[in-house]
Amino acid sequence: MILPLKANKYNYFFLCSFFLFCILITFSCKVKEEVKKEKTGIIHHPAELEKKAEFEDGDHRFIKFLSSNLEYPQEAIQKNIQGKVIIKFLVEDDGTIDNFVALKDIGGGCADEVIRVLLKTQGRWNSAKIKRERVRSYYFVSVVFKMPNDDSKPSLQVDIK
């Protein structure tokens, strides 16, 4: 046997609160789905692009920025580590950068140093384009860390693809 609930202000408050809670949960899930859809578009390889993603001031300024901000990690100097680090990252259609992946890492904190400096460029990118439409694309940066033969400072060489 089902007993009828007494109609009072507490039951009314509880039912209204529960109803609002359900609406908020439903709305929250829909917003998360929309955000997920926005970030799941096709990611284009640079070879597919009409115009590749670029640093706002151009490739020359990007190389200059990296060269002036990169530091040879102390751990790599102490362990005499040298070689090429290749980092791949994603330039979103809104120009933000993320998803950093070290395709080649020599250790000693070298890949982390390149990623640290790349993060400083956040908000300074123009996205790639296909048919005048902004698209997501990968960008590749390689940095050669080289120990000197004499007592001079270790050197860095930056290349972009």
Q: Taking the domains of the chain in order of start, what are their residue ranges?
A: 9-40, 43-160
Could you give the 3-state DSSP secondary structure of residue 155? strand
pLDDT tens per residue, the chain (161 residues)? 555 555 555 555 555 555 555 455 555 544 444 444 455 689 988 888 999 999 998 999 999 999 999 999 999 999 999 999 999 999 999 999 999 999 999 999 999 999 999 999 999 999 999 999 999 999 999 999 998 877 656 677 887 76
Contacts of 99 (CB under 8 A, 6+ apart): 89, 90
Question: What is the pTM assigned to this prediction?
Answer: 0.71
**Element containing residue 139 per DSSP (H, E):** strand 133-146
> From CA 90, how far away is CA 96, in angstroms rounded?
8
**Rounded CA gap, 97 and 121, in Å?**
8
Residues 6 or more apart whose CB falls under 8 angstroms from that of 121 comprise 55, 62, 65, 97
